Structure 1
């Protein structure tokens, strides 16, 4: 019988409690023993716990105070590369889903789904497998195809969202207003939006805005 250690990171105590009870129920995880060695209610505590315990498994929400889930994921890969990471989240924005998959999560499950799917796939993930739930694969499959944004386009997108005009962006970046307008047009075409208001709304909804970006 296999024995594994795990950390649960979620800012809701009731969610942590439910996950702990379920993961420690051997019948739900195919007879394996999963020992919860720590819980964390924010990103910094999650990172500290990973550093201390180097667990076999981290079950992680991505919407947490202090440090976001993607930051926790990156730090976990740095400090405990053998830890398997399951993201269990309520988000559904296409941009964030793609970011998590690109970051290399081992499991991705939605809080909008029946939790049985998560518990059923824990043994697979612990043994080196990877599973993205149907909730997220459907989002990916049904999403409109988009060209990736260039670094300059993302830079201009942040300035547009900040309310700057083409002239102001031109002065900020040291490029012509005509060049700014061309980038703005390319952004709208790539994201299939038809006004600045739609561009801003779409970008915020899909997580395309990087609040920490240097602009």
Structure 2
């Protein structure tokens, strides 16, 4: 994950949404925040990519349903070309099927437009700091209540660290065990939970409050 933006560093935000009122609302919201500014606005996915490549913003707030290139593809291209950028998807769609693809593409935030301004600002703060922020409403659309109870305490700890983006080698160093032991716990936990990727593990950890979104 990115180390995030320092507290006293100016933070440039690109806003991409085909609705002018949404863009104006975000711009007004940020106008009261010292060191934050909307450096560019885009109505289409193509415009968002062009402006991001030109201006290199710290944070991109993208609608999922952008005209032309979708928010998912914009996210994928931005995160590949600019690994330090924080991408926050701001959408009307509370569809858990989008989350794995967006996180896999590199997005660090997913917030619903039905939520209030405070929720959007909290998400932007988290993403700017290099953290992951998923709308609680979106994350809870597909619950896995009680699933964590099938894991051992060590498996839960491994799942937590995987969800934070740690590698097996890093986890082994933190837990003072071998890489092989970590791999055994990780494989066992994923098999018990029916998970297949690190993104799946992250979503499971958020939904079951093993980590906070």
Question: Is TM > 0.5 for Structure 1 vs Structure 2?
Answer: yes
1:117 is aligned, of 116, 119, 124, to 119
* Matching residue of 1:23: 30
Tell me which residue corresponds to 1:106.
Answer: 108
| Contact 1:50–1:80 (CA under 8 A) maintained in structure 2 | no
Structure number with larger C-alpha Rg: 1
How far is the alpha carbon of 1:37 from its aligned partner? 1.1
Shift in Å, 1:109: 0.3
Instruction: Tell me, in whole angstroms, the C-alpha distance in 2 between the residues paired with 1:142 and 1:135.
Output: 14
The alpha carbon displacement at 1:54 in A equals 1.0
Shift in Å at residue 25 of structure 1?
Answer: 1.6
**TM-fit CA distance, 1:24:** 2.3
TM-score between the two structures when normalised by the length of structure 2: 0.61
1:20-48 C-alpha deviation (Å, 9 max, x unpaired): 1102221xxxxx41121110000000010
- 1:175 aligned residue: none
Q: Matches of residues 69-148 of structure 1 in structure 2 within 5 Å?
A: 69-141=71-143
Q: Structure 1 stretches (4+) deviating beyond 4 angstroms?
A: none
Matched, 1:5 2:12: yes
- What is the CA–CA distance in structure 1 between the aligned matches of 2:41 and 2:140, rounded to whole Å? 31
Displacement after TM superposition at 1:124 (Å)? 2.5
TM-score by length of structure 1 reads 0.60
SS at match of 1:6: strand
CA RMSD across the alignment: 1.9
**Structure 2: gaps spanning 5 or more residues:** 1-7, 148-213
Structure 1: any 5+ residue segments left out of the alignment?
Answer: 27-31, 146-215
User: 1:26-81, CA deviations, whole angstroms, 9 ceiling, x for partnerless residues?
Assistant: 1xxxxx41121110000000010111011100000010111101110011112222
Structure 1 SS opposite 2:140: helix
SS at match of 1:116: helix
Q: Matches of residues 41-80 of structure 1 in structure 2 within 5 Å?
A: 41-80=43-82
- Whole-Å separation in 2 of the counterparts to 1:2 and 1:120: 18
Query: What residue in structure 2 maps to residue 200 of structure 1?
Result: none
| Count of aligned residue pairs for this structure pair | 139
SS in 2 for 1:140: coil
Task: Please state how far the C-alpha of 1:118 moved relative to its aligned partner.
Answer: 1.3
